[in-house]
Each structure stands twice: as structure tokens, then as C-alpha cells.
Amino acid sequence: MIPDTLHEFVADMSPSVAVTATVGLLMLLGFLTFKSVSSDNVLPGVPELKGVPIMGAMPIYLKHGMPQLLGKLIAIGDDGISYANVVNNVLVSIHDPAMVREVLAYPEEIASREGDPGRMSWSPFWTLRRLIGNSLFSYVGPETSHQRNVFIREFNSTKSNSEKFDTITEIATVHANALTSEGSTAEVDDIKYSADNFAIALWGEILYGNPNHHVGGRVLSLSETIINLAGNPWPSVWYSFQLFLKLVTPGEPTRSEAKLRARVAKVVERNIGKLEEHERNNPDAPLKTIRNLSVMTGGGRTGPLSKFASEFANLNLFGGHHSIGLNVTWSLIDLDKHPECLAKLMAEINAVDTTDFTNVNSKMPYLNAVIMESNRLHPTVHATLRVINREITLASSKKPVVLKPGEFVPERFLGGYKKDQPFMSFGYGPRNCVGYKFAILAAKVYLVTLLKMYQMDVKDHDHEMKLGTLLETTKPVAVKVSRRY
């Protein structure tokens, strides 16, 4: 897929001219950046994915994207590590759990998310900053610790999540009821769409007092556009070309990226309007989450949000709801394939009061095991990227790791899981997910609500994982829902 900027660039050209210009752009980019790529073995003893002269694995990346390139690297890296040359960059894939943990624990001065904004970078965070501006992803040093602590207090603490539980339950019930409206059965074309809308509505209510955040599909469409651009190779290629021609200031968005940022700003502006309306109408109500984040980072209890809270408002337009939606979707697929697991879960659901926060949060071990096992098999963010800024020796053992086949076995999580097991669905180290407990709670509540309310039959059992920016299904997940009476 070619981004809008490149479409605009070639829109008035004939097909032959457009093809020639695109190929010429890539060749020029390759020759201009060709400095250190050679036939030498860059990492002696480490398997290399061979590419073509000068460009290395760039053609694979441009045709299939980073996820498919990583898939090929993983396939040849029997010892948990492999690499490829991509023009003048060396892309190293580390998939041994011990080595992954070591790299993710490196401080930012050694391994950053973005690298130098003035030169070519393949990091999706590099593109993401241009699309939505600064965010928690961008910051390093002591400021990061403070911001992460604010998030953890708001989304990963038991007290805070208990206060959100009734709202989560209310939104989940509304969206579950909407699947059949007043009827007893319904054919749902794609349950992921419904789960995503539940999550978007939940974020809208939690943050701004706007349970209609999902209405009209603008947020979901904008979110998918941002995610696709962040994980697509063409924005990086096109941006690097403009950098070379000095058509753009390093780190600043292109014209088409600036247009997308303007769309983000409009959605955020509408949400702030909803927040202020809620605050006027409910002066004695507890502060909404975005206002809490603002107060904790220097903002007032009314008026403009703090800089940090404003940045999170942008970030939230694509971050958070897909993890909830995909977790619920994969759980339904896995449970439908394994009716014995579904039976165990239903027995647990029917045996406890699922309107009680403590029960759902910490006293339903099989529910927790199902959610965690789905995350193990289908982590929403299946890979992350770090730019090595300083020479470092990878000290982890090169001893091969024996991985078991990917069966759906929730029982492996009963009684918790050992920290030395290769489970890192929410990241690891100082930059792990700061809101995963809230996301898990939301997924649990929506899954339980659906299963209590409906008999759910996933129509196809051939759903496979699609390696994109996120780990999605290869096709829509059609489900027949029948009300339980």
C-alpha cells in the first residue's frame, strides 16, 4: 500500500512515468545510503536472511511490510537470533525470551524507540510521532518515570480499577444488548467490530463522559489509519526521500501527515467539549480520568488540560481499544474451538457473582487463565522495535530455547505463571504496558457479559493470525448469537 503522500506525488503521471519514478526513487535512496552494506558477515555465527545487492532485504520489507520480514527472520533464527541488511541498516530479530528481556531492559541511551529523526529509521514510533505528536512513547529519562507512575496509578491499581468497574459493566451490557436489540438471535458479521466499538465507547465514557465516542465510526476509522501508517514501510521511505531533498524538517510531519494530525485534533476537540459539558452538568461528580491525569500532571480541575493529558488524548485515539477488542475476539475463537474449556469457564461464571469487582478481578482463576492464554497465543502487539544507539554486548545465553506447540491450554496459567516463562504479551522492563490491568479487566467484563447473555457460535474454525501492525485475524469473525433465557 502506498500512502496518500505518494499517491499525490504520482497522481498526474502516466503509469509508465509513475513506475519509473517510484523505482528511481528507491534506487536513489539505496545508492545514497549505501555506506556499510557488503557481503561480509556482520554478525559472525548469526543466521542472515539474504537479500539483493545494495538493497538487502528492502524488497521484502516494501512488498510485505515489517511483520512478514520479521516472520522470515524468525524462521531462520534457530538459536533465537537472526539478522538482515536493509540498505545501510542492520535489522536484528531477537526472539529468544532471555535475549528479548535483556534488550527491553536496556536504558534509552542504549536502545531507543525512534533513533535519530534526521536519518532513515524503520521504527513505527518514528512515524507515530509525526502522526499524533509527542506521547509517552517519545519521552526518555526521569520525565518518563513520572508519567508512567501517573498511568500506573490510574490504570494499573486495584483501587482505581475498582472505581471504574461499574462503568465498564454498564458499557459492556449496553453493547452486548445491541447485538440482537430486541430479538433473540442475530448474525454478527464481525465480532471484532463490535468489541472494538465497546472499547472505544468505554474509553470515551471513562475519559470524557462520552459513551457515544464510537458513534459514526470516525474514531475507529482514524485509529486504523494511524495504525496502518505506523506499520507500513512506505511512509518511512517517502519521508526519508523528502529528508534528503530537504523538503521537510527532521521530525516534522509531511503535508498529508499534518492533515491527519488535524483530523486527530478535531476529534480531541469534540471530546474536550463533551468533558466540559459533563463537568458543567455534574459539578459534584468524581473527576473523569482525563481530568485526573491532567490534575496529576499540573493541570487544573477545570479549564485546559495539562500538556501530558493533551498528549494522551491524542495517543488514545489509536491506543488501548484494539488490545481489548482483539483479546475478546481471539478468546471467543479459542473457546469455540475448545468446548471443554468453554464449559469450565461457564461453570465458573455461573458459580460466582460477576457483578462484584473483586470476583471478576481476582477470584475467577479460569477466566483469568483464558484471557492470559489468549494473550500468550495471540499477543496484540506481537513485536516491538528498538534502535541500538550505542555498542552493547548481548550477554544472554545462546542456549537454544525449546518452544512447545501453540495449543490453547488455559490451565497453564492456573496458580499464576513463573516469571522465567516466555510470556511477554504486555512487554517487559521499564517500558512495559502501563495500562494492561485495566485492559484485562475490560476484556474480562465484556467476555463474561457476552457469554452470560448469549450462546455464541463462531461460524468458521479456520481463523488464522495475520501479521500486520497488530496481530489480527485474516478475515472477519462472523458469529451467530442466541440469547440465553
Q: Which is more confidently placed, 436 or 123?
A: 436
Q: How high is the mean pLDDT of the chain? A: 81
pLDDT of residue 479: 94
Domains and CATH numbers, the chain: 4-97 (no CATH), 142-483 (1.10.630.10)
DSSP state of 424: -
433 assigned binding-site residue? yes
**Dihedral sign, CA of 269, 275, 278, 283?**
negative
Instruction: Say yes or no to pLDDT of 400 above 50.
Output: no
- Cα separation, 146 vs 461, whole angstroms: 45
Q: Which is more confidently placed, 418 or 276?
A: 276
- Cα separation, 323 vs 227, whole angstroms: 12
Q: Which is more confidently placed, 285 or 392?
A: 285
Instruction: Say yes or no to pLDDT of 183 above 90.
Output: no
Q: Which amino acid is at 260?
A: L
DSSP line for 3-60 = -HHHHHHHTTS-HHHHHHHHHHHHHHHHHHH-SS--SS-SSTTS-B---BTTTBTHHH
Of 129, 94, 81, 80, the C-alpha closest to 384 is: 94
Of 133, 87, 60, the C-alpha closest to 241 is: 87
- Pair 99, 80: CB distance under 8 Å: yes
- Pair 447, 332: CB distance under 8 Å: yes
pLDDT of residue 281: 95
The fraction of the chain above a pLDDT of 70, given in percent, is 80
Instruction: Say yes or no to pLDDT of 43 above 80.
Output: no
- Pair 386, 137: CB distance under 8 Å: no
pLDDT bracket for residue 41 (50, 70, 90): low
Assign 3-class secondary structure to 435-478: CHHHHHHHHHHHHHHHHHHEEEEECCCCCCEEECCCEEECCCCC
Q: Which is more confidently placed, 34 or 348?
A: 348
pLDDT bracket for residue 2 (50, 70, 90): very low
> By three-state DSSP, how is residue 131 classified?
helix
Instruction: Say yes or no to pLDDT of 276 above 90.
Output: yes
Specify the residue for cell string 484471557: 371
The lowest-confidence range among 108-122, 189-203, 229-243 is: 108-122
- C-alpha grid cell, residue 313: 488524548
Q: pTM for the complete prediction?
A: 0.82
pLDDT of residue 167: 97
Beta strands, E only, 166-225: 185-188
- Work out the burial of residue 121: count CB atoms within 10 Å of its CB; fewer than 13 is exposed, 13-18 middle, 19 or more buried: buried
**Dihedral sign, CA of 222, 228, 229, 231?**
positive
- Cα separation, 307 vs 360, whole angstroms: 35
Give the tens place of pLDDT for each residue, 206-229.
999 999 999 988 999 999 999 888
pLDDT of residue 399: 37
DSSP line for 249-316 = -TTS--HHHHHHHHHHHHHHHHHHHHHHHHHHH-TTSPPPHHHHHHHHTT--SSSSPPHHHHHHHHHT
pLDDT of residue 402: 29
pLDDT bracket for residue 33 (50, 70, 90): very low
